[in-house]
């Protein structure tokens, strides 16, 4: 059974995605910047109105994934808010200046988030040694990795995604995203071995 995670930029899109058959929502704001944390009010109303699990992106701004101490504190506060509301999970990614996983900060956030689900976002695509990063995220306790295989789209990065799924060995979920739609997920999933899919059009057009 496939899982479809619809990436949405507001509650209106989230409600439409649910009607169209989404199994899970990634709730964002500012998708033009790659997604930032939605407002507290939006998170509360989504929790009240939706009947499917919600993953809330925790990202204080667009741009890179190198965060200041203040931005890191903001992320912790946002995770605590989501946890207090009973949100299903959170999505974030933190790198070091050398474009490797910031293991300490990532572990701090994962430990804070549990028992919520945790997805490491497409910051993963900027990491050079993806197999090493995958092992680090498994050890930290991350539940899934959102990736387009380091390419412009998941279809362009399909060989890397296929390899990551093989390397994951069931210890972590590889969640392909980036130009995956309701029209191409089936063939793509069969090729790479994916069972979960992420996208703004994974269940159809939302806006």
Q: Whole-number mean pLDDT of the chain?
A: 97
Per-residue pLDDT of 80-103, as tens digits, reads 999 999 999 999 999 999 999 999
The CATH architecture to which 3-199 belongs is Alpha-Beta Barrel (3.20)
Count Cα atoms within 13 angstroms, Cβ side, for 82: 34
Per-residue pLDDT of 168-194, as tens digits, reads 999 999 999 999 999 999 999 999 999
Instruction: Say what the pLDDT of residue 1 is.
Output: 83
Nearest to 67 by CA among 108, 19, 31: 108
* Segments in 20-102 forming alpha helices (H): 40-49, 69-84
The yes-or-no verdict on residue 207 having pLDDT over 90 is: no
Say if pTM beats, i.e. exceeds, 0.75: yes
Question: What share of the chain in percent tops pLDDT 90?
Answer: 98
Per-residue pLDDT of 126-171, as tens digits, reads 999 999 999 999 999 999 999 999 999 999 999 999 999 999 999 9
């Amino acid at each position: 059974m496939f899982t479809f995670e619809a990436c949405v930029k507001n509650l209106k899109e989230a409600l439409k995605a649910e009607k169209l058959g989404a199994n899970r929502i990634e709730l964002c704001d500012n998708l033009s910047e790659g997604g930032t944390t939605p407002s507290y009010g939006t998170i509360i109303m989504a929790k009240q109105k939706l009947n499917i699990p919600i993953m809330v992106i925790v990202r204080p701004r667009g741009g890179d994934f190198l965060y200041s101490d203040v931005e890191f504190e903001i992320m912790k506060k946002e995770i605590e808010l989501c946890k207090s509301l009973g949100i299903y999970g959170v999505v974030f990614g933190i790198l070091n200046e050398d474009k490797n996983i910031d293991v300490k900060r990532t572990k701090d956030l994962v430990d804070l988030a549990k028992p919520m689900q945790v997805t490491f976002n497409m910051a993963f695509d900027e990491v050079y040694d993806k197999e090493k990063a995958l092992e680090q995220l498994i050890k930290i306790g991350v539940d899934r990795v959102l990736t387009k295989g380091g390419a412009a789209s998941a279809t362009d990065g399909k060989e890397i995604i296929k390899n990551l799924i093989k390397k994951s060995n069931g210890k972590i979920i590889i969640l392909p995203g980036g130009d995956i739609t309701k029209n191409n997920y089936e063939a793509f999933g069969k090729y790479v071995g994916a069972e979960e899919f992420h996208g703004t059009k994974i269940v159809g057009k939302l806006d």
